[in-house]
């Protein structure tokens, strides 16, 4: 405990988080990372987290508001053609049920919608090697709202890349899930003092309500 307190004082003394909130820009988009059956369906080893399940429910609520207000939504699944095009993962569960054509790559029906921009990625970040950047540029997006799973893995990687590309990054805490709460909390605390605004769901809903654009 004493060590934890010393670390916290160290970050504060070094100026982490001192700049205050980044705030929303002119045009937000919602990014949904890996809410696919492999992570949300209890039939799969990684799909048994109640925390992830609740994050899906919260994200479904956020997406309903986003779509009603013409806020762009991009969703992704992670998967591969074969083990030969995978990275050197240390997670045994990703080596099955996550190949093209597998049901584990299907989006959770609670968040899937044909109006959204959907694609498959092969690495942790939703940006790496995907068409997302082009899509966001075409939509005039300057702010991304990152949701999905897992917080300590693909969500964090997506947050860092979004920051690196120059976006304002918003993270609704209830819309992200992980296998363990401690990992979720630690990673959001860390990105919150470096790269992103970590917000409540109601704050984000309020921010995107009324953002409707002319068709």
CB 176 within 8 A of CB 183: no
In 3D space, the residue among 29, 28, 39, 10 whose CA is nearest the CA of residue 148 turns out to be 39
What is the Cα–Cα distance from 56 to 112, expressed in whole angstroms? 11
What is the Cα–Cα distance from 175 to 39, expressed in whole angstroms? 14
In 3D space, the residue among 140, 150, 159 whose CA is nearest the CA of residue 185 turns out to be 150
Kindly tell me the burial class for residue 48, based on how many C-beta atoms sit within 10 Å of its own C-beta (0-12, 13-18, 19 or more): middle
Of 76, 149, 154, 175, which one is the catalytic site residue? Answer: 154
Nearby residues of 165 by Cβ (< 8 Å), 6 or more positions away: 127, 133
154 catalytic residue (yes or no)? yes
The residues carrying an active-site annotation are 154
């Amino acid at each position: 405990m004493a060590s934890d307190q010393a670390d916290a004082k160290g970050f504060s003394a070094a100026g982490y988080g001192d700049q205050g909130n980044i705030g929303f820009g002119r045009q937000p988009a919602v990014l949904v990372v890996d809410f696919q059956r492999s992570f949300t369906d209890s039939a799969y080893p990684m799909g048994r987290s109640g925390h992830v399940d609740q994050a899906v429910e919260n994200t479904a609520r956020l997406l309903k508001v986003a779509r009603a207000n013409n806020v762009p939504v991009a969703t992704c699944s992670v998967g591969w053609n074969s083990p030969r095009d995978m990275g050197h993962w240390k997670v045994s569960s990703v080596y099955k049920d996550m190949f093209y054509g597998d049901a584990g790559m299907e989006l959770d029906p609670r968040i899937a919608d044909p109006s959204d921009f959907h694609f498959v990625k092969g690495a942790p970040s939703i940006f790496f090697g995907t068409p997302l950047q082009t899509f966001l540029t075409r939509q005039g997006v300057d702010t991304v709202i990152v949701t999905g799973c897992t917080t300590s893995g693909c969500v964090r990687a997506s947050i860092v890349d979004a920051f690196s590309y120059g976006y304002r990054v918003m993270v609704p805490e209830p819309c992200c899930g992980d296998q363990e709460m401690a990992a979720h909390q630690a990673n959001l605390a860390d990105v919150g003092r470096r790269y992103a605004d970590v917000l409540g769901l109601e704050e984000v809903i309020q921010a995107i309500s009324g953002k409707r654009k002319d068709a």
